[in-house]
Amino acid sequence: MLNQAELALLKAAIRMNMIVMGIAFGLLGGSILWLGTIILLLRGGYDVGLHLSLLSVFLPGYSVTWGGAWIGLVWGFAFGGLSGAILYWSYASTLRERLASRLLNARDATNELTPPTFLMSGNALGIALGVLLALQLFLTTNWLVVRGTAGNSPNAALLGQYLPGYTVSFSGSLVGAMELFAVAFVLSHVLAAIYNFVARERTR
């Protein structure tokens, strides 16, 4: 059990790292959507970005235009940032005090400015990423259901190719969310195993 000061320190650390992860994912999310839009505009052609512009269903104001690219940047930053913050919060909350044991060379670092290296927990990452992605699939699918366009969403329904049983409906979103959780959990273990292996090899 952690004492009160350690608990306060842990909460403060999680809060600070949530912001940092939010900024990292926000920058990534915003720049991906901005760049994705800009590339299509530069390529030009007839009916530019017919599929990408469907994102306006979820991101009001977004379109595959020069102005829409900047609106996409803001939405991408907001959604990416929120996802990153939730991902870290969920990850760290699962590990809690065990967070401190997931470090390489924790006791060797003698200088405050040379912090140890972070090791990943496949289980905690799997739960965090799985819950996040499952929740996102559930919410986006049911947003289509609520606005009454579920029947006119053939592109969303294509997810059923990868997630058997998924349909653009409430029950389909539950099935898809569970399957996506499982996929994310497995991929998180792969990610954590490779990351930890390479990180350990590099600090030998």
Partner 1 sequence: MQQSTLAYARSKPDRGDLIARAAFARLDVVALAVAMGCVFALGLWFATAMLLLKDSPPGVPIGPNLALLANYLPGYSVSWIGSLLGGFYGFLIGCGFGAIVAAVWNVAHHIYLVITTTRRYFAGDL
Residue whose CB is less far from partner 1, 60 or 108: 108
Cβ nearer to partner 1, comparing 145 with 199:
199
Contact 87, 129 (CB under 8 A): yes
* Smallest distance, partner 1 to C-beta of residue 172, A: 18
CA-wise closest residue to 130 among 195, 194, 189: 189
Q: What is the largest CA-CA distance in the chain?
A: 64
Q: C-beta of 94: minimal distance to partner 1 in Å? A: 14
Tell me the residue type at 177. Answer: A
20, 5 Cβ separation under 8 angstroms = no
The binding site for partner 1 (CB under 8 A) comprises: 2, 5-6, 8-10, 12-13, 16-17, 20-21, 23-25, 27-28, 36, 39-40, 43, 51, 97, 99-103, 106, 109, 112-113, 115-118, 155, 158, 161-162, 187, 190-192, 194-199, 202-203
Q: How far is the CB of 80 from partner 1 (least distance, A)?
A: 10
Q: Is 82 exposed, middle or buried (0-12, 13-18, 19+ CB in 10 A)?
A: middle
Query: Nearest approach, Cβ of 44 to partner 1 (angstroms)?
Result: 11
The set of residues, in sequence order, having a beta carbon less than 8 Å from that of 115 and lying 6+ positions away, is: 109
Nearest residue to 123 (alpha-carbon basis) of 28, 61, 196, 74: 196
Q: CA dihedral defined by 94, 98, 100, 106, rounded to 10 degrees?
A: -130
CA-to-CA separations, 21 to 145, 198, 204, in angstroms, rounded: 31, 21, 27
135 versus 191: smaller Cβ distance to partner 1: 191
Question: Please, which residue, 74 or 157, has the CB nearer to partner 1?
Answer: 157
CB of 55 to partner 1, least distance (A): 14
CB of 122 to partner 1, least distance (A): 11
Report the residue number, 24 or 135, with the smaller CB distance to partner 1. 24
Nearer to partner 1, 43 or 148 (CB): 43
